[in-house]
Amino acid sequence: MEWKEFILSLAIGEGILGKVKREIPQFEILPSRTVSFWRPKEWRSEESKEGKDIIVVRVDNLTDNFIHEAAHARWTWRCPKTRQMLQRWGVLLNIVEDARVEYLASTQWGHKFSEEYPPFSSSNWEWLEDGEKLAWGVYIKRIASSTGKEIPPEWKKALELLRVDDCYRELIGVKSPEDMEGFLTKWWGEPLKRPGYLPCTGEEMADEKRQEKEIQSGRELRRELEAGGSQKTTPHRFKGNPPSAEKAKRVKSLLQMLFQNDVEKTPSTYGRYNSRRDMRGKEDCFTQKKVCATNLIFIVDTSASMLSIKNDVRAILLAVKELSKEGVLTGAVLFVGGGECIKVPLPTTKPIEKVNFQGGTNGYKKAVPLAQSYDFVVFLSDLAIDEEDRKAIESLSKKSFFLYGGPYYRHLHALADKWKIPRSRRLFAPTLEGAIKLLLEVIT
Ligand SMILES: [Zn+2]
């Protein structure tokens, strides 16, 4: 068991882990299937103060994740000032602080991280503001410094005209929270307004309630792992945080428009009367097309690369669950990820809206046979798939739609070109709600 070996190597103080352990204050380490974060004892709520830092580590890349969070425990200032800055500067503080502590971890502890560079997309790059580009520059410099890997030429070229080297050099010289504030103000002037356009730090530092919950479930998971317990992921598949009710409500009303069976309302002159088109003032309110709401399947990609849009996906699932309870739609939801494939027939009482995103995508090969009998297939995926999976989904392409909403949606067109997914099947927008609106346009 990987987790046990890890605990063991901490206990016997071997190599770098021993060194790390000697240098940071007392801490409790907890496994997680979804997130990594550090929570110092100074920031914990009164009732759960135990005199120890909590280090929650996502188990898919144990060493890197642990060293990263341990570096925060060693070098991120525990003072109220840091928390104030985090509130004011948000994700940007995470990005620069991550770069600073990983620099220290790699130079002082000698740890080499194994992270890959994100793909560069010139179409996304064009819309970014200078401050956002600079944040990406620091992010790329962090990977370069902590992995020792050469920066890919396309990134190098993009960063050429920005003063990223100067900015990064100044950052690693930052010595106090006051310094940090001066540094942020000098280079960014004010906090950036569009967090979705910034590189993803993969951490959940800001939301305390969510962290408390994660700490709880980390303790449960540790007990299970230490008992040599089941490796089954199925019971944990639906243990994430629920989406915001408000977002789910908006998504629900959109989906309702899509699947509400309103075709019998009026005698038709030709085709079928479509009240949605009528309501939207479209002249042609009769259409031959229809959605077969009683025979559809949502295929949900639950790989870790979906984490950035997890709340939107969860909102869709909550909406789908409610609509199926109301009899508006039937069918199934199929969760694919980490080689596993779980089919949940609708309506369901399972907490599908709390789905977790972890590990790799692979699994479409198993999923496709399960989806064959449905007339209508909706993929919720970022298309980060391999050749084998592409072949599998190709057999469904005539009746399937690919839904994606997120800041990198333009990048997805390049992937979809590569996988030869027809334009008419691609519903990509900056948000998932936008993508559903596209579906509405295509189908009705
Ligand atoms: Zn971090």
pLDDT in tens, 46-82: 655 567 889 988 776 778 888 999 999 999 999 999 9
Q: Looking at 131-135, 291-295, 337-341, which range is the least confident one? A: 291-295
pLDDT (0 to 100) of residue 3? 62
- How many angstroms separate the alpha carbon of residue 137 from the centre of ligand 1? 16
CATH architecture entry for 236-443? 3-Layer(aba) Sandwich (3.40)
pLDDT (0 to 100) of residue 140? 96
In Å, how far are 110, 296, 313, 375, 410 from 426, measured between CA atoms?
Answer: 45, 17, 17, 17, 11
Residue at token pair 């793909």: 119
pLDDT (0 to 100) of residue 268? 36
C-alpha angle 433-91-159 in degrees, rounded to nearest 5? 95
**Upper half-sphere CA count for residue 7 (Cβ side, 13 Å):** 12
- How many angstroms separate the alpha carbon of residue 123 from the centre of ligand 1? 28
Residues in the chain: 444
- How many angstroms separate the alpha carbon of residue 364 from the centre of ligand 1? 32
- How many angstroms separate the alpha carbon of residue 70 from the centre of ligand 1? 9
- Residue boundaries of the structural domains of the chain: 2-231, 236-443
- How many angstroms separate the alpha carbon of residue 433 from the centre of ligand 1? 30
Q: What is the mean pLDDT of residues 384-397?
A: 75
CA-atom Rg of the chain in angstroms = 24
pLDDT (0 to 100) of residue 267? 36
β-strand partners of 53: 27
- How many angstroms separate the alpha carbon of residue 406 from the centre of ligand 1? 22
CA-wise closest residue to 66 among 15, 31, 14 = 31
- How many angstroms separate the alpha carbon of residue 93 from the centre of ligand 1? 10
pLDDT band at 444 (very low <50, low <70, confident <90, very high): low
Of 207-221, 406-420, 425-439, the range with the highest mean pLDDT is 425-439
- How many angstroms separate the alpha carbon of residue 130 from the centre of ligand 1? 23
- How many angstroms separate the alpha carbon of residue 73 from the centre of ligand 1? 10
Share of the chain above pLDDT 70, in %: 78
Chain centroid to Cα 94, Å, comes to 16
- How many angstroms separate the alpha carbon of residue 211 from the centre of ligand 1? 14
- How many angstroms separate the alpha carbon of residue 333 from the centre of ligand 1? 34
pLDDT in tens, 138-194: 999 999 999 999 999 999 999 998 999 999 999 999 999 999 999 999 999 998 887
Q: What is the mean pLDDT of residues 224-228?
A: 66
CB 204 within 8 A of CB 35: yes
HEC assignment per residue over the chain: CHHHHHHHHHHCCCHHHHHHHHHCCCEEEEEECCCEEEECHHHCCHHHCCCCEEEEEEHHHHHHHHHHHHHHHHHCCCCHHHHHHHHHHCHHHHHHHHHHHHHHHHHHCCCCCCCCCCCCCHHHHHHCCHHHHHHHHHHHHHHHHHHCCCCCHHHHHHHCCCCHHHHHHHHHCCCCHHHHHHHHHHHHCCCCCCHHHCCCCCECCCCHHHHHHHHHHHHHHHHHHHCCCCCCCHHHCCCCCCCCHHHHHHHHHHHHHHHCCCCCCCCCCCCEECHHHHHCCCCCCEECCCCCCCCEEEEEECCHHHHHHHHHHHHHHHHHHHHHHCCCCCEEEEEEECCEEEEEEECCCCCHHHCCCCCCCCCHHHHHHHHCCCCEEEEECCCCCCHHHHHHHHCCHHHEEEEEECCCHHHHHHHHHHCCCCHHHEEEECCHHHHHHHHHHHHC
Q: Is pLDDT of 328 > 70?
A: yes
Q: Is pLDDT of 37 > 80?
A: yes
- How many angstroms separate the alpha carbon of residue 56 from the centre of ligand 1? 11
Q: Is the dihedral of CA 378, 441, 324, 303 positive or negative?
A: positive
C-alpha to C-alpha distance for 247 and 412, rounded to whole angstroms: 23
Is pTM, for the whole model, over 0.85? no
Q: Is pLDDT of 112 > 70?
A: yes
- How many angstroms separate the alpha carbon of residue 444 from the centre of ligand 1? 45
pLDDT (0 to 100) of residue 155? 96
CB 303 within 8 A of CB 337: yes
pLDDT (0 to 100) of residue 5? 61
- How many angstroms separate the alpha carbon of residue 37 from the centre of ligand 1? 7
- How many angstroms separate the alpha carbon of residue 213 from the centre of ligand 1? 19
CB 406 within 8 A of CB 308: yes
Share of the chain above pLDDT 90, in %: 28
Tokens of 193: 């307004």
- How many angstroms separate the alpha carbon of residue 60 from the centre of ligand 1? 16
- How many angstroms separate the alpha carbon of residue 167 from the centre of ligand 1? 19
Chain centroid to Cα 288, Å, comes to 38
Q: What is the mean pLDDT of residues 425-438?
A: 86
- How many angstroms separate the alpha carbon of residue 284 from the centre of ligand 1? 54
CB 337 within 8 A of CB 359: yes
Tokens of 295: 């025979």
pLDDT band at 101 (very low <50, low <70, confident <90, very high): very high
- How many angstroms separate the alpha carbon of residue 72 from the centre of ligand 1? 7
- How many angstroms separate the alpha carbon of residue 53 from the centre of ligand 1? 15
- How many angstroms separate the alpha carbon of residue 246 from the centre of ligand 1? 29
- How many angstroms separate the alpha carbon of residue 294 from the centre of ligand 1? 45
182 φ/ψ angles, rounded to the nearest 5 degrees = -60, -40
- How many angstroms separate the alpha carbon of residue 278 from the centre of ligand 1? 51
| Between 245 and 292, residue with greater pLDDT | 245
CA-wise closest residue to 200 among 78, 357, 53, 62 = 357
- How many angstroms separate the alpha carbon of residue 156 from the centre of ligand 1? 24
- How many angstroms separate the alpha carbon of residue 180 from the centre of ligand 1? 15
- How many angstroms separate the alpha carbon of residue 238 from the centre of ligand 1? 25
CB 433 within 8 A of CB 254: yes
- How many angstroms separate the alpha carbon of residue 69 from the centre of ligand 1? 6
CA-wise closest residue to 53 among 34, 32, 35, 76 = 76
